[in-house]
Structure 1
Amino acid sequence: MQQSIIIKGARQHNLKNIDLVLPRNKIIVITGPSGSGKSSLAMDTIFAEAHRRYLQSLPIELRTIFDQIQKPDVDLIEGLSPAVSVDQKTISKSPRSTVGTITEIYDYLRLLYAKIGTPYCFICGKELISQDIHKMTASILSLPEGTRIQVLAPVVIEKKGEHREIIERAKAEGFIRARIDGKLVELTQNISLKKNIRHTIELVVDRIIIKEKYKNQIKRALELAIKYTQTVVVNIVDKNKDIIFSSTLACPTCGVSLPEIDPRLFSFNSKYGACPRCRGLGYENIEEEEEIDVLTLTPCKLCRGTRLRQEALAIKINEKNIAELSAISIDELKNFLSELKISSHESLIAERILKEIFIKLEFLQKIGVGYLSLNRPAFSLSGGEAQRIRLATQLGSHLSGVLYVLDEPSIGLHPRDCLKLIDSMKELSMRGNTLIVVEHDEKTIMNADLIVELGPGGGRQGGYLTVVSAPEKLIRNKNSITAQYLNNSSKIAIPKERRKSSEFIKIIGAEAYNLKNIDVKIPLGVFVCVTGVAGSGKSTLIFEVLYKALIKKLYNTNVLPGKHKTIEGIEKIDKVVYIDQSPIGRTSRSTPATYTQVMNEIRELFAMLPDARVRGYTKSRFSFNLSGGRCEDCQGEGVKKIKMHLLPDVYVVCDSCKGKRYNEETLQIKYKNKNISEILEMTVSEALEFFSAVPKLRHKLQVMEDIGLGYITLGQPATTLSGGEAQRVKLSKELSKKPTGKTLYILDEPTTGLHMVDIERLLNILQRLVEMGNTVIVIEHDLDIVKCADYIIDLGPEGGTDGGYIVAEGTPEEVAMNPKSYTGKFLREKLGL
């Protein structure tokens, strides 16, 4: 196999026709300022070409679709392996997706409970025993006289297939009717079931009216049903209510029976196991199909957020049901399973299942997410957490010869935990895999085998190869911007003095999730950093408790804040702004221009042009979201989505408008010789110069430039923005508004995606906000941000159940000297103490 990946003439996006040779089976870090072309090289050129070649290997009948996928703008790439992209955005955001389902650990737990779980009555709590025919008959006869029932034998339960053989056999054995997927059908009909949908088939054994004289008929019906299945369903016709009887499991006191215990019973994605109220979603007010508003989520009143039906929750191992195990941290789960008290017979059954679970749990611990629980919804994970979970899954797959492309895997990691991540990447490399990592973290850069630095700036000023070298040589390279920060020839200055405050917001008795009933004092009018290892309770304290309580009070919302006694001092602020890394939109219709309302100003400008007024064009003509001016073939998106079913969706450029979004008539209107599509293709920096004479536009664009977004294009689809870029777009929108001087800004890891040179620009913006009298709270791990704070609140000491305490608080110097603080240990070195 070729020993190198050879790239010649890469021109994707802003790349300047670069040539590059990358060694295989090594860790290669691509770094450089924001917009310098890192993702263009790693994701949009190398991975995109590997992905395109994979698609071409699929069946010939799909080739017409794949022919529409554009080849990256590169002359030649040789030596590519099968590639896996491990980025911040590819994890499922479905409400049905959890840490347990993503890692497949929950699948193994379901199998474990099905094999060695002990069933209990969900009413009285007693252990269940088998029911005989006499007990079943007596229970049925206890129904009111005259009740009409159907005795059903479930022969297929939630299984895919057409099931023709089963239906034909039932007809041959004399059955006339069946209940299929909840509907009663005559077996004499032509029954055609869809192959790829799960079906339930219950044969109607007999129809009986409850009377003592029909006792023997009931008994015979039960005996016949049990020949086909261990579980008998008695349907009360008038109420359409089912009673389940089991020949193996029943409560001697309550008469409660459980259905057949198999792994599907514990699946909240199956009708067989899901809570009937929330259908396995765990919440009252969401669908799969909808965008999730985390602020208004309410746990299901029936299952209390466990997602499962009561019968599944009644099966336990060592007195814990599967939902209880899913709710504890990965670290606690590993300890619980290590100390299982089960019989020698059960040990033989469980041995292989437990082995697989332990392997997966250990990999999750290795990459620093041991504080997460299996029931944590995928939509609530940060980009960094999602990426590290996928990385752990890859570690557990034991593949070799794979090209892994990672996009800032260190996001959200405390400096203490970065070494765990680096060790995991080295392990993948040692197995014969190649890792291309887009990264700014100092430790990751210094532990790579090769550094590729792009620059020297972003956007049009980026895309050049500035350095290709080993880490030890990089530090001495005078052409490297990264080296200047690594060798301290350039560095972010520590403030000469820390601001003091006489006013505070006080959170009293915070105990949401893992917070340990803590009281927290947050100074106002200063720059505050909240620090701590991953899972220590930072987001819980600031988002779940403080932010939700503030918007409930200030804006009278229906949000339910995390558990706490009270918050004092809310009257001292008049506005709260929370800026996270969630997307600014879910489709290509949302762009930086539309989100920041720059597009609104541009449309108004175009509508005022003489040519537009002559034709009667209003501002709506220049919207790609409205009929009239847009291309109707792609409905203004510029691209068309091709559903790939088992593979991620693929987007191809619209044939009609060639990606311009608008129809020909609209594109004929020009401002300074540019049509509206050409303006959307401009970078923020270019647009700032182009619209320098338009005050409203100039102000909004200047803020975006100041915050380090000069390299992104105005019309860049929201789906292509990283979490950090989306966050900075949101911040720029807020900064363009008139500040009140009493606003509280909350930012969650704003350094995501920023090179050291860009962090300085961000700091200047944040400090400017504080100088206006506002309060800025930042949840952050980057020590260059932390060292510049006026006040630090350090949580920990660990993640999960061992977190949730205040470890240290005060100025960076005070926290640095606290021996209990992990943050303080790294801060001491950064402050030179």
Structure 2
Amino acid sequence: SLAFDTLYAEGQRRYVESLSSYARQFLGQLPKPDVDRVSGLAPSISIQQKSASRNPRSTVGTITEIQDYLRVLFARVGRPGCARCGREIQAQTTEQIVESIGGLPTGTRFSILAPLIQQQKGEYRDLFDDLLKQGFVRARVDGEIVSLTDNLGLDRQMRHTIELVIDRLSAGRGGRSRLAEAVQTALRLGAGTLLLAVATNAGTVPGQDSAGTSTSTDKLYSSLYACPDCGISYEPPTPQLFSFNSPMGMCLDCNGLGRRHEFLPDQLVTQPGKSLWTGAIGLLGAVRRIGRWRRHIYQGAAAAIEADLQLEPDAVMKTPWKDLCEESRRLILHGTGDRHITFSWRYRGGVWKHGGTFAGVIPKLLESYHKTNNPMRRRQLEKAMQFTDCSTCRGTRLNQQAQAVTITTANNHFGRTTARRRRSLPEVCGMSIGEAAAFFEDIELDSTGQLIAVDVLKEIRARLGFLLRCGLDYLALDRSAPTLSGGETQRIRLAGQIGSGLVGVVYVLDEPSIGLHPRDNQLLLESLADLRDQGNTVIVVEHDEETIRAADHVVDFGPGPGIRGGRVVAEGSVREVETNRHSVTGRYLSGVDSIPVPQERRAIGKDRLTVKA
């Protein structure tokens, strides 16, 4: 009551009353405590043992604001990759590309090529004729340099790669304007990309020799954030891309929560001894008894699966579920993807055939779950569901594009190769605080990146350091706030206050050592001392002996607990409390009284508690 209901309440009330009436209407104000006079009281901040938030979107990273700094860091100096294939992509200006190519050793022979066709079938006669009319005379087809004036008879059933030769140059010879013109032309014809083919041997022409051996090494340049292999374009990374609270960055399947209701195959298949035709899947029912339209869809999908897996007719539909092969089960439950299926609708006038795809039992039930407004139907579906990690984002909360942006640490603890030291934002947030601090000790950045990231990295390292000093090295930044204990929440807030650098404030804490491992207690005491040394007053309600002995001034209330106490029985230094004969706490601190360790422990019963992950 003294710490929170009197000192904290009065300190906050006085601070709020010093503000304008307009500002006070937005701030909650505690009632005036029942006290005659309090002097020398500064504005107060309470850090209590309460859960940080019941909001499932709140994490350790968002509470400490480290997540915000990480978003800025990855947006500004992260290396984007393709969300589909993982290939690193980078946008460059024409001037940067020209500067890079111009830096080749003098005498190096190279060609500027524009990618036109990437692994596609066709003869491309019209394309070659059009290029010839534009004045181009050479192209590289499937790795071989050919003349466009030749009769190029490509096999239309084969996949081909065609790259137009814009110009052939030698480093250090010729004007820079010619190189710039070739680069601009290649970017225009290559839809923002070009290839630099550098001859591997002096005197050779970039391409292939007569034996089919490559005589050049290729380097890709792009003026767009686009993957040249997949043909997918991306927006330049922004901080919003790395926010699971923003539609731009969140996983759309779980809405940025990282968890969602998903159907469990074992609970869907209620009667594995039956076939799909007779009702193996309870929520689907017997296929023979469902509506004609739905029945013909399932029959068409089953026929397509039988054709793909070379099964007997009606094997998928009429074989008991427990006897179906694993691939057949997967395709029925999760769908056949983009595979085109021809469905046959039989009616009196004949057969109507139409094409489409098969989504699968689980996606259709999920669609029904999200669309229905009937609470009974939702409860029925939830019996076969479990709230589990999102299978799309694997619990990371972010979409594939955000997960493809990486940063590389220079700390060899994470691996000897660059690929092993490279981490995405979800991977960094999945580390423990201790591992994350080691990751950000030294980041691989160029000179420009170092200038951009210096202030952000300083904040990230400082805040991670504060968490370490509060004994929270085992937590991960993506740890959900509702799963934190009261003691963990309090120490996280304490770390945030240390990092804020406030001066002249009264901090009131409620047993910050509770739930803390004894080996980390000294780190906590050092953190409290840091708050004090910054020019603040730290008031702690505590029963831990080590914490009491570290205090500058101790106030002991008694003589009993709760309503049987409330009187100051001792105050002063630890030594003064120890020598006070009225203080029960003092007698235990001095060793006069103690709690003996029992010689015999209670017998262990036969009952057991099993904890499953």
TM-score bin (small chain): 0.5 to 0.7
Q: Which residue matches 2:55?
A: 94
Q: Which residue matches 2:258?
A: 282
Q: Which residue matches 2:398?
A: 308
Matching of residues 707-726 of structure 1 within 5 Å = none
The 8 Å contact of residues 12 and 29 in structure 2, kept in 1 or not, is answered as: no
Q: CA deviation at 1:375?
A: 0.6
Q: Which residue matches 1:434?
A: 537
Q: Which residue matches 2:456?
A: 353
Q: Which residue matches 2:499?
A: 396
Deviations 1:29-64 (A, max 9, x none): xxxxxxxxxxx1101111111112222233314657
Structure 1 SS opposite 2:38: strand
Counterpart code for 1:305: G
Q: CA deviation at 1:360?
A: 1.2
Matching of residues 597-746 of structure 1 within 5 Å = none
Tell me the TM-score normalized by structure 1: 0.41
Q: CA deviation at 1:248?
A: 2.1
Q: Which moved more, 1:77-86 or 1:402-411?
A: 77-86
Deviations 1:444-486 (A, max 9, x none): 1011011111121233312111111211121121111112222
- Residues in 2 aligned to 1:275 and 1:393: alpha-carbon distance in whole angstroms: 29
The 8 Å contact of residues 446 and 472 in structure 1, kept in 2 or not, is answered as: no
- Residues in 1 aligned to 2:602 and 2:556: alpha-carbon distance in whole angstroms: 37
The 8 Å contact of residues 56 and 66 in structure 1, kept in 2 or not, is answered as: no
Which residue among 448, 452, 456 is the counterpart of 2:555?
452
- Residues in 1 aligned to 2:85 and 2:596: alpha-carbon distance in whole angstroms: 66
Structure 1: gaps (5+ residues): 1-39, 143-218, 224-245, 288-295, 506-521, 523-545, 548-560, 563-833
Counterpart code for 1:276: L
Q: CA deviation at 1:501?
A: 4.6
Tell me the TM-score normalized by structure 2: 0.55
Deviations 1:230-264 (A, max 9, x none): xxxxxxxxxxxxxxxx9621111111222231111
Shift in alpha-carbon separation, 1:433–1:300, aligned structure 2, 3 A: same
Identity across matched positions, percent:
47
Matching of residues 542-553 of structure 1 within 5 Å = 546-547=610-611
Structure possessing the higher relative contact order (Cα contacts under 8 Å, 6 or more residues apart): 2
- Residues in 2 aligned to 1:490 and 1:56: alpha-carbon distance in whole angstroms: 47
- Residues in 1 aligned to 2:433 and 2:553: alpha-carbon distance in whole angstroms: 34
Shift in alpha-carbon separation, 1:124–1:441, aligned structure 2, 3 A: same
CA RMSD of aligned residues (A): 3.4
Structure 2 SS opposite 1:393: helix
Q: Which residue matches 1:386?
A: 489
Q: Which residue matches 1:416?
A: 519
Structure with max Cα Rg:
2
- Residues in 2 aligned to 1:101 and 1:247: alpha-carbon distance in whole angstroms: 34
1:488 matched to 2:591? The reply is yes
Q: CA deviation at 1:109?
A: 1.2
Q: CA deviation at 1:491?
A: 2.2
Q: Which residue matches 2:226?
A: 250
1:264 matched to 2:226? The reply is no
Deviations 1:313-345 (A, max 9, x none): 011112210000000011111111224333333
Counterpart code for 2:432: S
Shift in alpha-carbon separation, 1:138–1:466, aligned structure 2, 3 A: farther
May I ask how many residue pairs the two structures share in their alignment? 364
Counterpart code for 2:552: D
Shift in alpha-carbon separation, 1:352–1:408, aligned structure 2, 3 A: same
Q: Which residue matches 1:111?
A: 72
Counterpart code for 2:395: G
Which residue among 75, 78, 81 is the counterpart of 2:42?
81
Shift in alpha-carbon separation, 1:65–1:103, aligned structure 2, 3 A: closer
The 8 Å contact of residues 50 and 82 in structure 1, kept in 2 or not, is answered as: yes
Q: Which moved more, 1:277-286 or 1:412-421?
A: 277-286
Shift in alpha-carbon separation, 1:124–1:81, aligned structure 2, 3 A: same
Shift in alpha-carbon separation, 1:74–1:120, aligned structure 2, 3 A: same
Q: Which residue matches 2:210?
A: none
Deviations 1:474-514 (A, max 9, x none): 11211111122222332223223234558585xxxxxxxxx
The 8 Å contact of residues 330 and 372 in structure 1, kept in 2 or not, is answered as: yes
Q: CA deviation at 1:131?
A: 10
Q: Which residue matches 1:372?
A: 475
The 8 Å contact of residues 12 and 30 in structure 2, kept in 1 or not, is answered as: no
Shift in alpha-carbon separation, 1:45–1:297, aligned structure 2, 3 A: farther
Q: Which residue matches 1:479?
A: 582
- Residues in 2 aligned to 1:431 and 1:300: alpha-carbon distance in whole angstroms: 44
Counterpart code for 1:393: G
Shift in alpha-carbon separation, 1:136–1:80, aligned structure 2, 3 A: farther
Structure 2 SS opposite 1:118: coil
Q: CA deviation at 1:362?
A: 1.2
Structure 2: gaps (5+ residues): 94-113, 122-187, 193-221, 263-369, 371-385, 409-421
Q: CA deviation at 1:350?
A: 2.0
1:127 matched to 2:217? The reply is no
